[in-house]
Chains A and B, each alone.
Chain A
Amino acid sequence: MKLIKLFFVVSLFFLAGFGQRLSFAEDNLSAGDIIARSRLAFYYAGDDGRARVTMELINKAGQKRVRELTMLRKDYAEGGEQKYFTYFYQPADVKDTTFMVYKYPDKDDDRWLFIPAINLVKRIAANDKYASFVGSDFTYEDISGRKPDEDTHGLLGKEQINGKNCFVVESMPKSAAEYTKRISWIEAENFLPLKEEFYDKQNELYRRFEAIEVKDISGIATITKRVMKNIKTGHRTEVAFQEVEYNLGIEDDVFSERYLRRPPLEWIR
């Protein structure tokens, strides 16, 4: 009993000291603030944007599958509604497949998929946020973001990653989610996540996200190379963003069923 008490006191002491040092280090940003700002920096850069994306899905044995796509995004409210349009070039037999998402802050997304082989636009229910995005290690949630108030956040401290100062934030889901704990390393300067680690139901690390390359594009810090690795299966996905552009003034009607069938050529080359 005594030992437990002693341990308790000691840990309190450490916690107090730890918190104090942090408050000196940063200008009173809470963990929740950091996560909210990170979400804006990562998912809401500019008012709209376009990128040519190459995804390499690599299994444990080193075999590869390639996904090549153009992604268009338009924001309707900062931190709120967004629309995505995706056109696939690769794999060859899915060329001309398109995928569209309307993202709402407080309800399930609307999703549509155009299947060219049978000339069919199909609505897809979006109740599984944790499903894989086109077979990659990214979930839909990883691609389009998660609302900060779905987790409780705690600041673990500050660490450097590749010489960059990062906040280390621990996030625990309030209700059942795909992970049971997430730890994010968020760069203090631009609020981009440089590393994220996801823990599963067995409280074991199973996925790790890493930003490999960050570039300044029209004054906006952008992660142009990233990798998500499943530690347990050895499967990983490497993503490269090319031809990234922001604030293009993409019209509303691009994000419509009509364009799903006939992709907007001015945006997709």
Chain B
Amino acid sequence: MLSKLTKLVTGFPKTTIALLLVVSVLFAIQFPKIKIDTDPENMLEQNQPERVFYDKVKKEFGINDLLVAGIVDEKGIFSPDTLKRIAQATDEILKIKGVIIEDVVSLRTSDNVTSEDGTLTVKRFMDDVPQSPEEIERLRNDLFGNPFFVDKIISADAKATSIYIPIEKKDQSYRISKEIETILKKELLPEQKYYLAGLPVAEDTFGHEMFVQMGITAPLAGFFIMLLLFLIFRMGIAVVPPMLDAMLSVIWTMGLLIGLGFTVHIMSSMIPIFLMPIALLDDIHILSGFFERYPEIKDKRKTIIAVMKGLYRPMFFTSLTSAVGFSSLALADIPPVRIFGLFVAFGIMAAWLFTNTVVPAIIMLMNEEKLERFFEKRQKKTARFNRMLEAFGRFSFHRSRAILFISLLIFIAGIIGIYRIRINDNPVKWFKPKHRIRVADNVMNKFFGGTYMAYLTAEAEKEDEIKRPEVMAYLDKLQGHLEALKIVGKTSSVADIVKRINYVLHGEDKNFDAVPESRQEIGQYLFLFSMTGDPNDLDNFLDYNFQKANIWVQMKGGENADMRDVEQSLSGFMRDNPVPAGINIRWSGLTYINKVWQNLMVRGMLKAVLGSFWIVLLLMAIEFRSLWIGLISMLPLTLAIILSYSLVGFIGKDYDMPIAVCSALALGMAIDFAIHYLQRFKSAWQEFRDIEAVNRFMSGEPYRAIMGNAIVISLGFLPLITSTLTPYVTVGTFFALLMFFSTLATLILLPAIMRLWGRFLFKAPVLPGRGLNETN
């Protein structure tokens, strides 16, 4: 069937190309509809229980997206001039549209509750800017005398202050953060540093970087691959068919993705970069075969038809297995990963279509005279590379037993390495260490209580239950436990507020810096507090019916492992100190959510790898009509994957999102080498009936084609290393490593196995003849 297509395509090359280009335009016109999605919460399903709960917490406790501006003056902030600048900057920030004025927390806007001469005073820390040394000393005492605000709006060393700026809508964060920056730049002295942190800033920056990725890194990768192709074929025109194939498949895939209304997430922004090198792998086999056979056949069309005939099966199966590998990502519970997998799979199959249409069509349009001249030159140049490959082929063939033994050792060492893998991720570390966001994050975590938020929600069965003294006391004790942990910078809750009022009402007597013992007292203190500020001052900590309380847990690190430790430590605490009756305590917050999806990712990827392993094995068994050959074809990639992941374990690199995703992809890609090797071996065996001769043949053109593939696929991902986002860098490096190991494993392990058992694996041929595979 496919041979008919080849005849048709090579008969009408121009029509074929024109037709496909027209269809491609339909996909391309979808591009302007692109929507970027940088919300880390979208790593979870909309209805995933933890996410639903977190959304509820945010809504019930009025938690808005927050920008945090940190101001650092190495000389300390307590000087009239610096304080004046801070006050002016804060006043200007309040005027920015979209800022929730009454929820801004800062020196200028936050209330301090104190007791002076028996009078309860509620006033802003800095309603008027202090001028005299006495006034400044007073402000200093006010701030450091209120534990609620130390490490929050004032650093313990008095060198930094911060302004917490909640915003109405996340999509305004870019404009608002720019306006804040302008204000801070204008109001502060050059030696006073400012930093902007907060999730919305990170997300915006990330979205921007993603565009850069797609707009610069992807084309850069394209050029790089072009260069590689040129080095392999030493001929300008040979670069055109694979490049067109790659470009069209990217256009179709991204066009379809955008056209169907999917958002472009961190994962899907990597589609072009993945697709390009994969798309043109089969084309390398066609071109390699074409250049090999053309000098003897001397007719473009006949050469193509002859070459393609031997490649239909391996090309189809390599495409199919790669597509299966990617679509196995659909088994993960993480929507962006699923979409990524399915669309790359689509792209691979689209590329297969172009391989069978566009590529032969373009070859038909090549100038015959130029081809002739090129072949004369080529014969001499490539001789050295050929000798190298032959030597390589002899090596793996003659050292077969040693190779198998060493492979076994690597396998065992690999398993040990895999056991040492540490599962961990931190989305802030998706930025490189020198990145503005990372710098701001480090500074803020150095001076303040921690920028990584998690929430603990205590929920009662009935209204007003949070006011029970034992509940309040429990919250207080629980906070004490958490704050003793090194990674936890600060916790805040309604218990802190009640304690503060108790302390202040009793003339700032230390004995009363505690949770009161009667419910009436707690109720009346909270009532008093509601008489002093805004109606929504308590909202962040207490729901409207006093049925739920929210504890803010600020952490200095956002690693999933940190979150896990805190979570475990709290479970231990709750085991030793039973929760008051009728109260239920549950985690949420972004740091926690990140941990949740990381766990899903690990499980999802394991499912994906195992799933695609079985499917690919099945496909191989069908392809070769032998379970044994199927199993053998899986060996090199299994070894390569184990080796790569054990390296991750030994080096101590965290097993994070990009590393996880690579495993499933590598499987579908690495099998290609084995498919091509075994297919060529099979047909050569049927011709030569002598293992030694087959091996000699294999280390010629088949090795060249496989090596060409390996070079493109390993090096093709390397431009990712230039990226400013670490997930791309990780994918680039790790994937190159995986492919490199797979190639080596294929070209070393398979010949060794074939020498020992090859003659038993392949049955006698029905029809002899080189290049024919249709044996049964």
Q: Chain B contacts of A118 at CB under 8 A?
A: 505, 521, 524
Nearest opposing residue in chain B for A202, CB measure: B97
Q: Verify A116–B505 contact, CB threshold 8 A.
A: no
Q: Chain B contacts of A230 at CB under 8 A?
A: 535
Cα distance, A84 to B310, chains bound together (Å): 99
Q: Verify A200–B535 contact, CB threshold 8 A.
A: no
Does chain A have a CB within 8 A of B48? no
Stretch from B119-127, B139-147, B235-243, B651-659 contacting the other chain: B119-127
- A127 contact from B95, B123, B524, B533, Cβ within 8 A: B123
Nearest opposing residue in chain A for B467, CB measure: A93
Does chain B have a CB within 8 A of A65? yes
Q: Chain A contacts of B520 at CB under 8 A?
A: 93, 116-117
Q: Chain A contacts of B764 at CB under 8 A?
A: none
Q: Verify B534–A132 contact, CB threshold 8 A.
A: yes
Q: Verify A97–B524 contact, CB threshold 8 A.
A: yes
Q: Verify B119–A57 contact, CB threshold 8 A.
A: no
- B530 contact from A117, A127, A135, Cβ within 8 A: A135
* With known contacts A97-B527, A131-B533, A135-B535, A59–B544 Cβ distance under 8 A: yes
Q: Verify A137–B535 contact, CB threshold 8 A.
A: yes
Does chain A have a CB within 8 A of B111? yes
Q: Verify A136–B527 contact, CB threshold 8 A.
A: no
The number of chain B residues with a CB under 8 A from chain A is: 46
Cα distance, A233 to B99, chains bound together (Å): 12
Q: Chain A contacts of B99 at CB under 8 A?
A: 202
Q: Chain A contacts of B536 at CB under 8 A?
A: 233, 235
Q: Verify A202–B524 contact, CB threshold 8 A.
A: no
Q: Verify A115–B505 contact, CB threshold 8 A.
A: yes
The number of chain A residues with a CB under 8 A from chain B is: 40
Cα distance, A6 to B122, chains bound together (Å): 52
Q: Verify A113–B535 contact, CB threshold 8 A.
A: no
* Min C-beta distance of A260 to chain B, whole Å: 14
Cα distance, A9 to B123, chains bound together (Å): 47
Q: Verify A132–B535 contact, CB threshold 8 A.
A: yes
Cα distance, A3 to B530, chains bound together (Å): 53
Cα distance, A117 to B127, chains bound together (Å): 32
- Give chain A interface residues in 34-85, CB to chain B under 8 Å: 57, 59, 61, 63-65
Q: Verify A61–B100 contact, CB threshold 8 A.
A: no
Q: Verify B527–A91 contact, CB threshold 8 A.
A: yes
Q: Verify B527–A117 contact, CB threshold 8 A.
A: no
* Min C-beta distance of B500 to chain A, whole Å: 14
Q: Chain A contacts of B522 at CB under 8 A?
A: 93
Q: Chain B contacts of A65 at CB under 8 A?
A: 544
Does chain B have a CB within 8 A of A262? no
* With known contacts A63-B544, A94-B524, A117-B520, A131–B531 Cβ distance under 8 A: yes
Cα distance, A201 to B99, chains bound together (Å): 10
* With known contacts A93-B520, A135-B531, A125–B119 Cβ distance under 8 A: yes
Q: Verify B122–A128 contact, CB threshold 8 A.
A: yes
* Min C-beta distance of B459 to chain A, whole Å: 15
Q: Verify A125–B544 contact, CB threshold 8 A.
A: no
Does chain B have a CB within 8 A of A215? no
* Min C-beta distance of A173 to chain B, whole Å: 15
* With known contacts A128-B111, A233-B536, A115–B528 Cβ distance under 8 A: yes
Q: Verify A202–B96 contact, CB threshold 8 A.
A: yes
Interface string of A105-146 (1 = CB under 8 A from B): 000000001011110101111011001111111000000000
Q: Verify B544–A113 contact, CB threshold 8 A.
A: no
- Give chain A interface residues in 162-213, CB to chain B under 8 Å: 200-202, 204, 206
* Min C-beta distance of A265 to chain B, whole Å: 21
Cα distance, A123 to B62, chains bound together (Å): 32
Interface string of A233-249 (1 = CB under 8 A from B): 10101000000000000
Q: Verify B97–A132 contact, CB threshold 8 A.
A: no
Cα distance, A59 to B97, chains bound together (Å): 23
* With known contacts A91-B523, A94-B524, A134–B531 Cβ distance under 8 A: yes
Q: Verify B467–A124 contact, CB threshold 8 A.
A: no
Q: Chain B contacts of A132 at CB under 8 A?
A: 530-535
Does chain B have a CB within 8 A of A269? no
Nearest opposing residue in chain A for B523, CB measure: A93
Does chain B have a CB within 8 A of A5? no
Nearest opposing residue in chain B for A118, CB measure: B521
* With known contacts A93-B519, A120-B505, A125-B120, A113–B545 Cβ distance under 8 A: no
Q: Verify A204–B97 contact, CB threshold 8 A.
A: yes
Interface string of B87-124 (1 = CB under 8 A from A): 00000001111011110000000010000101111111
Q: Verify B524–A131 contact, CB threshold 8 A.
A: no
- B94 contact from A134, A137, A201, Cβ within 8 A: A201
- B545 contact from A63, A120, A131, A237, Cβ within 8 A: A63
Q: Chain B contacts of A237 at CB under 8 A?
A: 535
Q: Chain B contacts of A61 at CB under 8 A?
A: 59-60, 544
Cα distance, A59 to B62, chains bound together (Å): 11
* Min C-beta distance of B524 to chain A, whole Å: 5
Does chain B have a CB within 8 A of A2? no
Q: Chain A contacts of B62 at CB under 8 A?
A: 233
Cα distance, A132 to B534, chains bound together (Å): 5
Does chain A have a CB within 8 A of B577? no
* Min C-beta distance of A201 to chain B, whole Å: 5
Q: Verify A123–B119 contact, CB threshold 8 A.
A: yes
Cα distance, A133 to B534, chains bound together (Å): 9
* Min C-beta distance of B517 to chain A, whole Å: 10
Q: Chain A contacts of B528 at CB under 8 A?
A: 113, 115
Nearest opposing residue in chain A for B464, CB measure: A93
Interface string of B459-472 (1 = CB under 8 A from A): 00000100100000
* With known contacts A65-B544, A93-B519, A204-B97, A125–B116 Cβ distance under 8 A: yes
- Give chain B interface residues in 117-169, CB to chain A under 8 Å: 118-124, 127, 168
Does chain A have a CB within 8 A of B518? yes
* Min C-beta distance of B723 to chain A, whole Å: 39
Cα distance, A95 to B543, chains bound together (Å): 21
* Min C-beta distance of B299 to chain A, whole Å: 77
* With known contacts A93-B519, A118-B521, A201-B95, A134–B527 Cβ distance under 8 A: yes
Cα distance, A125 to B124, chains bound together (Å): 12
Q: Verify A124–B530 contact, CB threshold 8 A.
A: no
* Min C-beta distance of A264 to chain B, whole Å: 21
Known: A93-B527, A233-B536. 15 other contacts (CB 8 A): A61-B544, A63-B543, A63-B544, A63-B545, A94-B524, A115-B524, A124-B120, A128-B122, A128-B532, A131-B532, A200-B101, A201-B95, A202-B101, A206-B101, A237-B535
25 residue pairs from A and B, CB less than 8 Å apart: A61-B60, A63-B543, A63-B544, A64-B544, A91-B523, A97-B524, A99-B531, A113-B120, A116-B524, A122-B119, A124-B121, A124-B122, A125-B122, A127-B127, A131-B111, A132-B530, A132-B531, A135-B530, A201-B95, A202-B97, A202-B99, A202-B101, A204-B97, A206-B101, A235-B536
Instruction: List the 3 closest pairs (A to B, CB-CB), nearest first.
Output: A93-B523, A135-B530, A117-B520
